[in-house]
Structure 1
Amino acid sequence: MFRAALILGLLSAVGPFAIDMYLPAMPAIATGLGAEVAQVQLTLTAYFVAFGLAQLVYGPWADQAGRKRPLYVGLTIFGVATVGCALAPTIGWLIAFRALQGLGGAVLMVVPRAIIRDMHTGAAATKLMALVMLVISISPMLAPLAGSGLIAIGDWRLIFWALAVAALLSFALTTFTLPETLDPANRIPANIAKLWQGTKVLVRDPVFMGLTFIGGFGFASFMVFIASASFVYTGEFGLDPTGFSLAFAINAIGFFAASQAAGPLSERCGILPVIRWAVIGFACFSGGLWVVGLAGFASLPVVVAGLFLANACLGLIIPTTMVMALDPHGDIAGLASSLGGTLQMVTGGVMVVITGLFFDGTAVPMIGAIALCALLALAVALRTLKVLHHAQTGAVQG
């Protein structure tokens, strides 16, 4: 299981690296391209929205053609777009190439999830997902620091050249170390009728949709943090790129450290209680931090500590809701993974745009948007977990 987690984690980490590595450079990009803060944030929104929509293609394609062919195509698109980002002459071109980069990088979200579902279900799948996320955790801890180092010896464009090299290495990793996990006998021919039928099954499943949006609002909060943190930490709190990278890493460590407890806790306590208490904790910590901020006490240590605790709860939510959403839909795991990922990414993109409307470079609006995401996740969770509990109780009694 560890070898599979390492390979899938390294592939899955390329997408987050494309986000986290250039976060310290966002103020420099604004200066270098003569762009407004909101325009630079659009480079993230464009990436996330394209990333989300492209999953609708990669999922069904992976169910039809196997898991490796979509990886080859997606990585090629990602690599070409990354070179385009490095050469972008204006903020408009950078936004466009970031969207293309998201179209390619989406394959690294869909296919590894489907491979995990090919190999395991239930608690075993949660454990493998957590191991994959442990490997991915190098991104928020090392990627911003790597980006800061590259800025110190060059400019922000050097970051994208490094990502182009990562795309080449990922292509080689896929070719030489990743086996095909979908047997030809289990492949599903992709056609409009079947896709529509499978989509209707998923959309009409209140548990699938509920779990997807619990994770979606949770993920949206992290997207809001990613889009705003560099401006808050460097602008309001006066950190340099390296200081921002360290503060960002502390917040992200809470997420990924907690994600490693998701598998053991699910086995010991059950997945439902883990999700329930994690969502409650997420809402309480983020909501409490917002109240503290409104009271005028949002200092750097308070913000970092509060987000650490909130993100720790989020680390329990994401892997468990992913696994539970896909578990009953193994026959259309690729479609379920892509639809779920699309809904989550689009939700996050919408929340980033909404945040941009009232974001002023300070911590309180950022924290308020995160708290709103947490409260929405809690509202959906209260309904979804009740439905799921009744369904499981009925099955046991039957």
Structure 2
Amino acid sequence: MAFLLGGLAMFGPFSIDTIFPAFPQIGAQLGADTLAMQQTISVYLIAYALMSLVHGPLSDAIGRRRVILGGLAVFVLASVGCALSRDLGTLLLFRALQGLSAGVGLIVGRTVIRDLLHGDDAQRLMSQVSMIFGVAPAIAPIIGGWILGWQRWPMIFWFLVAFSMALWLATWFGLPETHPPAARLPVQPRRLLRDYVGIFLNPRFQRLAAAGAFNFGALFLYIASAPAFVLDILRLDQRSFGWFFVPMISGMMLGAFVSGRTAGRMSGRRQSAIGFACCAVAVLANVAYNLLVAQPSIPWAVLPMMLNAFGIGLVFPILTLAILDMYPRQRGAASSLQAFTSLVSNALIAGVLSPWLSHDRVHLALGAVVFAFLGWAFWRWEMHAHRVPDGSTLTPALEPTDRM
């Protein structure tokens, strides 16, 4: 189950990161400059964010399995369209369609975990899925670079077609339905809107979702800026994206592994404090390095990202399970709204902040500091608001009024 859910979560990041090495080739063939190519990420993320509001509630109504299978089928068709695109407008259209379907694996997969398990067991499975999911951003640009070594950029999208078809078959044969008909909620627009408003206006949800989104934003700023960071700042070639992604994702996987191993042995509050401390040290060290060194080089330029990713890997399972446990009958809606919050943030980072900051490595490093500080500030606000005891976890420490 961990491998299947991890694979389902992977195909979304795969559709972002595999095309990074192909940016120069796609831009040259389609007549698009760097800023226009950046929109292939932001369009995808905006569509992903908007549709993420639907995936979760739809799975609450008709079951997890049907939604995942349907989303995978649409993603296959969208990837075929991307491979056959001959102009930027067509490519952006099918990238948006990819974004509309790519969220089912990650968003609905989280609810499957919480359907099956509770407490420390849920944290362990969430951590295992995060470890597998973390492989995607590391190997995706490497695979993209390999493909470009023997074929042109459309073959990257044909690879995504094959990968998503394999996931569809694995889901059909390997994923049971975890949300029985008796527990399902009918799709009623008024009720859904009321639920979303109630969840979004819940101060605790706002603090937890903001803490997660801003904390990851420090790392995503570099992910969205990967072409500029690797090719222009580090002065590496299109087959060298692994120098950036492998250490970063290794840190995230290690953090997720430690989170799973410490479940039940260390309080969620303490684990989160350690994670945020690692993020703070990482972003500050990154600023210092870029101020002191004239030309950044491997591996020193990417080690701070590795530590930052480790901290995120420690914090993410705690925050996510805390949000899902707030709404036991509406986990799909809660997962969707959390994903929407994070995705809107990521889309703004990719479409606005990354093009603005990525031309200067010091500005990029300072941007990461701001995001890490905001994530920590919202987490501290949550700790103060609930005064969570040091010996307890975040997940079960819910007030009765937080539940809908």
Tell me how far apart the structure 2 counterparts of residues 359 and 171 of structure 1 sit (CA, whole Å): 38
Tell me how far apart the structure 1 counterparts of residues 333 and 77 of structure 2 sit (CA, whole Å): 26
- TM-score, normalization by structure 1: 0.93
1:265-344 mapped onto 2 (5 Å cutoff): 265-297=262-294, 299-300=296-297, 301-344=299-342
Q: Higher mean Cα deviation, 175-184 or 82-91?
A: 82-91
Is the CA contact 2:215–2:376 (under 8 Å) kept in the aligned structure 1? no
Q: Higher mean Cα deviation, 295-304 or 117-126?
A: 295-304
Tell me the amino acid that sits aligned with residue 238 of structure 1. R
SS in structure 2 at match of 1:334: helix
1:255-274 mapped onto 2 (5 Å cutoff): 255-274=252-271
Tell me the amino acid that sits aligned with residue 175 of structure 2. L
1:210-289 mapped onto 2 (5 Å cutoff): 210-289=207-286
User: CA 1:394/1:91 → structure 2, altered by over 3 Å: closer, same or farther?
Assistant: closer
Q: Higher mean Cα deviation, 378-387 or 292-301?
A: 292-301
Is the CA contact 1:276–1:385 (under 8 Å) kept in the aligned structure 2? no
For structure 2, list consecutive stretches of 5 or more residues without a partner in the other structure.
Answer: 400-404
Q: Higher mean Cα deviation, 272-281 or 354-363?
A: 354-363
Aligned mate of 2:120, from 108, 119, 123: 123
Q: Higher mean Cα deviation, 239-248 or 63-72?
A: 239-248
1:159-174 mapped onto 2 (5 Å cutoff): 159-174=156-171
Tell me how far apart the structure 2 counterparts of residues 27 and 319 of structure 1 sit (CA, whole Å): 36
Aligned mate of 1:372, from 351, 370, 380: 370
User: CA 1:334/1:13 → structure 2, altered by over 3 Å: closer, same or farther?
Assistant: same
Tell me how far apart the structure 2 counterparts of residues 15 and 222 of structure 1 sit (CA, whole Å): 17
- State the match for 1:389 in structure 2: 387
- State the match for 1:363 in structure 2: 361
- State the match for 1:79 in structure 2: 76
SS in structure 1 at match of 2:254: helix
Is the CA contact 2:56–2:108 (under 8 Å) kept in the aligned structure 1? yes
Tell me the amino acid that sits aligned with residue 313 of structure 2. G
User: CA 1:104/1:93 → structure 2, altered by over 3 Å: closer, same or farther?
Assistant: same
Tell me how far apart the structure 2 counterparts of residues 31 and 290 of structure 1 sit (CA, whole Å): 34
Q: CA deviation at 1:34?
A: 2.2
2:334 is aligned with 1:351:
no
SS in structure 1 at match of 2:371: helix
Is the CA contact 1:22–1:144 (under 8 Å) kept in the aligned structure 2? yes
Tell me how far apart the structure 1 counterparts of residues 149 and 314 of structure 2 sit (CA, whole Å): 35
Tell me how far apart the structure 1 counterparts of residues 380 and 188 of structure 2 sit (CA, whole Å): 36
For structure 1, list consecutive stretches of 5 or more residues without a partner in the other structure.
Answer: none
- State the match for 2:402 in structure 1: none
Q: CA deviation at 1:394?
A: 9.9
Q: Higher mean Cα deviation, 113-122 or 284-293?
A: 284-293
Measured against aligned partners, the alpha-carbon deviations of 1:301-354 in whole angstroms (never above 9, x if no partner) come to 332111111111111122221111111211100000001100110011112233
- TM-score, normalization by structure 2: 0.92
Tell me how far apart the structure 1 counterparts of residues 44 and 141 of structure 2 sit (CA, whole Å): 18
Tell me how far apart the structure 2 counterparts of residues 306 and 373 of structure 1 sit (CA, whole Å): 15
User: CA 1:222/1:46 → structure 2, altered by over 3 Å: closer, same or farther?
Assistant: farther
Q: CA deviation at 1:99?
A: 1.2
1:58-77 mapped onto 2 (5 Å cutoff): 58-77=55-74
2:110 is aligned with 1:113:
yes
Q: CA deviation at 1:250?
A: 1.4
Q: Higher mean Cα deviation, 145-154 or 67-76?
A: 67-76
- State the match for 2:203 in structure 1: 206
Is the CA contact 1:24–1:148 (under 8 Å) kept in the aligned structure 2? yes
User: CA 1:106/1:353 → structure 2, altered by over 3 Å: closer, same or farther?
Assistant: same
Q: CA deviation at 1:134?
A: 1.9
2:142 is aligned with 1:150:
no
Tell me the amino acid that sits aligned with residue 307 of structure 2. L
More helix by share: 1
Q: Higher mean Cα deviation, 43-52 or 353-362?
A: 353-362
Tell me how far apart the structure 1 counterparts of residues 388 and 173 of structure 2 sit (CA, whole Å): 46
Tell me how far apart the structure 1 counterparts of residues 24 and 219 of structure 2 sit (CA, whole Å): 19
Q: CA deviation at 1:58?
A: 0.9
Tell me the amino acid that sits aligned with residue 74 of structure 1. G
Tell me how far apart the structure 1 counterparts of residues 96 and 375 of structure 2 sit (CA, whole Å): 27
Tell me how far apart the structure 2 counterparts of residues 360 and 21 of structure 1 sit (CA, whole Å): 20
Is the CA contact 2:61–2:184 (under 8 Å) kept in the aligned structure 1? yes
Is the CA contact 1:234–1:241 (under 8 Å) kept in the aligned structure 2? yes
User: CA 1:119/1:328 → structure 2, altered by over 3 Å: closer, same or farther?
Assistant: same
Q: CA deviation at 1:133?
A: 1.6
Is the CA contact 1:220–1:351 (under 8 Å) kept in the aligned structure 2? yes
1:83-98 mapped onto 2 (5 Å cutoff): 83-98=80-95
Tell me how far apart the structure 2 counterparts of residues 271 and 249 of structure 1 sit (CA, whole Å): 27
Tell me the amino acid that sits aligned with residue 112 of structure 2. I
Aligned mate of 1:19, from 16, 22, 26: 16
SS in structure 2 at match of 1:38: helix
Q: CA deviation at 1:184?
A: 0.9
Measured against aligned partners, the alpha-carbon deviations of 1:224-254 in whole angstroms (never above 9, x if no partner) come to 2222122221122221222222332112211
Q: Higher mean Cα deviation, 193-202 or 371-380?
A: 193-202
Measured against aligned partners, the alpha-carbon deviations of 1:246-266 in whole angstroms (never above 9, x if no partner) come to 332112211111111112234
